[in-house]
Amino acid sequence: MAQGRDTSRDGFGNKLQTLFLTNFKGVWDFIQSNKTLKRKVNKFLINNAIYKAPTRPYPFSLMTLDPYIPGTADDRFQAVEGYVPGKGLPKKTDTYTSWESLINRTYIGRHLPPDPEFNKPENLPALEELTVLFKKKESNGKPVTIYSEKSTLLFPYWVQWFTDGFLRKKDRVEWFKNTSNHHIDLCPVYGLTASKTAMLRAFKGGKLKSQILNGEEYPPFYYEDPEKGIVKPEFEGLYEPLSDERNLEPAKKAKLFAMGVERANVQIGYVMLNVLCLREHNRLCDLLAKNCPTWDDERLFQTARNILLVVIMKIILEEYINHITPYHFKFFVDPSSFTNERWYRTNWMTMEFSLVYRWHSALPSTLIYGGQEIPMQASLWNNQMLIDQGLGTLFEETSSQPAARIGLFNTADFLLPVELASIDLGRKSQMASYNDYREMCQYPRVTDFNQITSDPDAQRYLKDLYGNVDRVEFYVGLYAEDVRKNSALAPLIGRLVGIDAFSQALTNPLLAESIFNPETFSPVGWEVIHTTNTLSDLVNRNTPQNGKSYKVTFYRSR
């Protein structure tokens, strides 16, 4: 643990677990050398991570915060007392379990019930006052970035990309609703619905529409007339552009690609991964067509999509999850081990999961591009960066520079308003306290600020702002904790990620016992799934090699 932090409230069982998993490397190497033992330990540790919190179904969702009864925004109810045109019948906001709250997944889920008393404005500091907790410290009048000791810049790029597919708050008005399918479904690549997917398909050979630029494959451009903001007819209705996109200068707008969701062009890391998936999908189509010559366009498309989805989930579980932990044991995908577990239930994304994944501080204020330092903001809505460099070169440069450390005092200025908006969203959602979530995740409640962090400045600011440790908000407490040694994350963030990430990925329909087999993916697709182990594998088979292998990794060079 970090020097100077009081560890007395970490919990004996938690300390013991960390001790065993981060030491005795020889023992863990032996376990992983024996297939049967490895499978048993993998199952035990994954279950141990998931069962650290109550499992689905959740008794409540953010539906309790909707002031209107679902399904009543219809003029047929106008004769009912209290009806509000366009909104529906008002309802009491009492918290209780209903059939709708158990099955209506248009609302975001929640692990703990709302706590309106905790979130009374008079009990919490003003949002603006919390800026000091996230703003970078200065040295000689310049902001100082604290870099991650473990992660490259590829790590936050990856996290933003894959989580944006399922953590999709509807809008600023109906923020308690989620527009996702609650699965890792690669909607940034394929779109959220069948009609949007159809706009992106070539309907030939199972492939997605694409174009060749500088000898490499990319999605087609989205705009017909960038100057006037006119979308190509084939992509009308694909998504509603964000205000940032509508206000772009024509030169940048002209290079935006037609991809699955409205945020797909927002940042260069997001675009890199979308382009990579498009190339892999089309490569798989060629591979399937060669091995299954009787298959039509539809079967080629659907099977390639299924293979790619499982490959991405495998990378999530076997590369990304293993990167964020400090453990010697490496988790792996073994779907058949979990189908009888009580957590094996339908996915439902939660507000807690959404707030846990707001790793804005992981993006440094600047990055290296083409050997030159540029502002991170220059990577927004700027696909020319990728077109000029090429996919392999940009992946290698991204993997050769560090991410910033996730935590307080480390958010770039342009993202500070987003941090405050995240705290405000927690308040609107009436989230329980940081200590309540520690208790839910089987950590003892802290009794002093020095049990959260070793940073004396953070301790002082937290005490000044909140007065009592029980008043610390969930979002603030998450990012105030010290990052664990040899980990990418602080303890509570890591635990919540483990709880949700394992249970969300492993319950994907494609990993179900009756579906996860060569019949679903074809023998050649089954081989692709079992021989693809890293993101590097994907990149290096989808980029012009020119006699070299590109460096693609979440890990900083030591």
Question: Rounded to 10 degrees, what is the CA torsion of 58, 60, 65, 69?
Answer: 110
**What residues have CB less than 8 Å from 204, skipping those under 6 apart?**
297
Output the DSSP codes for 404-439.
EPSSTT-B-GGGHHHHHHHHHHHHHTTPPBHHHHHH
**Are the beta carbons of 432 and 474 closer than 8 angstroms?**
yes
Run of H or E residues at 149: strand 147-152
What's the pLDDT at 209? 98
Residue 240 half-sphere exposure, CB side, CA atoms within 13 Å? 3
345-373: pLDDT as tens digits: 999 999 999 999 999 999 999 999 999 99
What's the pLDDT at 3? 53
Residue 143 half-sphere exposure, CB side, CA atoms within 13 Å? 16
Instruction: Count the neighbouring beta carbons within 10 Å of the beta carbon of residue 31.
Output: 16
Structure-block tokens of residue 107: 């609302």
139, 231, 247 from 253: Cα distances, Å: 38, 10, 9
- ∠ at Cα 25 (23, 27), nearest 5°? 105
CA distance 322 to 356: 18
Instruction: Count the neighbouring beta carbons within 10 Å of the beta carbon of residue 234.
Output: 13
- ∠ at Cα 430 (175, 60), nearest 5°? 80
The alpha-helical segments, DSSP class H, found in 254-383 are 268-291, 297-315, 321-324, 351-356
Structure-block tokens of residue 253: 């707008």
Residue type at position 555: Y
Structure-block tokens of residue 284: 């798989």
What's the pLDDT at 558? 57
What's the pLDDT at 170? 83
**Are the beta carbons of 449 and 457 closer than 8 angstroms?**
no
Nearest to 213 by CA among 398, 395, 391, 393: 391
**What residues have CB less than 8 Å from 242, skipping those under 6 apart?**
262, 263, 266
What's the pLDDT at 174? 86
CA distance 499 to 176: 22
**Are the beta carbons of 392 and 550 closer than 8 angstroms?**
yes
**What residues have CB less than 8 Å from 286, skipping those under 6 apart?**
205
Compute the 3-state secondary structure of the chain and give helix, strand, coil in percent, each to the nearest 5: 45, 10, 45
3-state secondary structure string across 487-518: CCCCHHHHHHHHHHHHHHHHCCHHHCCCCCCH
What's the pLDDT at 124? 97
Structure-block tokens of residue 322: 């293993």
Run of H or E residues at 304: helix 297-315
What's the pLDDT at 19? 95
The alpha-helical segments, DSSP class H, found in 124-220 are 131-134, 154-163, 187-190, 194-200
- ∠ at Cα 216 (214, 218), nearest 5°? 110
Structural domains of the chain in order of their starting residue, each with its CATH number: 12-66+107-220+257-540 (1.10.640.10)
**Are the beta carbons of 352 and 541 closer than 8 angstroms?**
no
302-332: pLDDT as tens digits: 999 999 999 999 999 999 999 999 999 999 9
What's the pLDDT at 547? 76
Q: Could you report the average pLDDT of every consecutive run of 10 residues in the chain (558 residues)?
A: 77 95 96 97 97 93 90 90 91 83 92 96 96 96 95 97 91 87 95 97 98 97 96 96 94 97 96 98 98 98 98 96 96 94 93 95 96 96 97 97 97 96 96 98 97 97 98 98 95 95 93 96 98 96 87 90
